[in-house]
Homo-oligomer: A and B are copies of this chain.
């Protein structure tokens, strides 16, 4: 039995492959092929445009796929969300679908869009949003480079932005946010109803989320004189107990703890002051609470 999985080709591909590799799934792509080999005989993988994956998952051509919430909505795909995976091309932040106009446009809010022309790659999502806001406007499909069309070709655009830098570079002004979107591991409803497939999907979700969690965490080990242990434990953040083990022929203990990498910046000086020695930090591949 196999699970048929659609993964995004293009700008999200490398980030997706890296995450799956860290989770234990290693793909080999023969040049120009859309069907990568994978080191799990229970998987069958197809690369395709992120835009189309939810459609094929919805129709059951695929059992599951990775795509953004934005494209799930645009395809009006009635699918099961297996896991919300917060990663994107260049940062780990959600992306936003925003409506933008020229900086000096007199369109100030959504209601000003009445009767205007709006270009977007996400026509249905945009139309739905305008309808909900009671605005009638013409929404046209844009094949790309949407952000340069204002103001010469259209009055406004509805476009995806990750850091806002493209919006800024094109002298645009955001007037509304239609939605925030993250990457979703989603499944076909029939596949989810199948016990073998559901268990496989859930196991994959555990591994993918464990890998994602490990990215912002590190392991910290240190040796501590037994007497100082309480001081050290005070310094460590209020979290699950660290692992403490007695050293042989010695009254020192070894303390080991998993932390957010960001916390380490402030903790290490504090730990040293509290008497910790031989502090080492090591990288993690997965963290499962």
* Size of A's binding interface in residues, CB under 8 A: 73
On whether the beta carbons of A280 and B214 are closer than 8 Å, the reply is: yes
Query: Does A248 make an interface contact (CB < 8 A)?
Result: yes
Query: Does A250 make an interface contact (CB < 8 A)?
Result: yes
Query: Does A287 make an interface contact (CB < 8 A)?
Result: yes
The complex places the Cα of A155 from the Cα of B39 at a distance, in Å, of 29
| Chain-B contact segment, one of A46-54, A106-114, A126-134 | A46-54
Query: Does A288 make an interface contact (CB < 8 A)?
Result: yes
Complex interface bits, A246-261 against B, C-beta within 8 A gives 1, otherwise 0: 1111100110101001
Complex interface bits, A112-153 against B, C-beta within 8 A gives 1, otherwise 0: 000000000000000000000000000010111100110011
A201 to chain B, nearest CB (A): 12
On whether the beta carbons of B268 and A278 are closer than 8 Å, the reply is: no
Besides A207-B268, A246-B246, A278-B288, 5 other CB < 8 A contacts?
Answer: A30-B165, A52-B142, A219-B282, A280-B286, A283-B285
27 pairs, CB–CB < 8 Å, chain A vs chain B: A24-B262, A28-B91, A34-B145, A34-B148, A40-B262, A46-B152, A48-B153, A49-B145, A52-B142, A61-B153, A202-B269, A206-B272, A207-B265, A207-B268, A218-B285, A219-B280, A219-B282, A223-B243, A240-B277, A244-B248, A244-B250, A246-B248, A268-B286, A268-B288, A281-B285, A281-B286, A283-B283
Q: Which residues of A contact B (CB under 8 A)?
A: 9, 24, 28, 30, 34, 39-40, 46, 48-49, 51-52, 55-56, 61, 90-91, 140, 142-145, 148-149, 152-153, 163, 165, 202-203, 206-207, 210, 214, 218-219, 223, 229, 240-241, 243-250, 253-254, 256, 258, 261-262, 264-266, 268-269, 272, 277-289
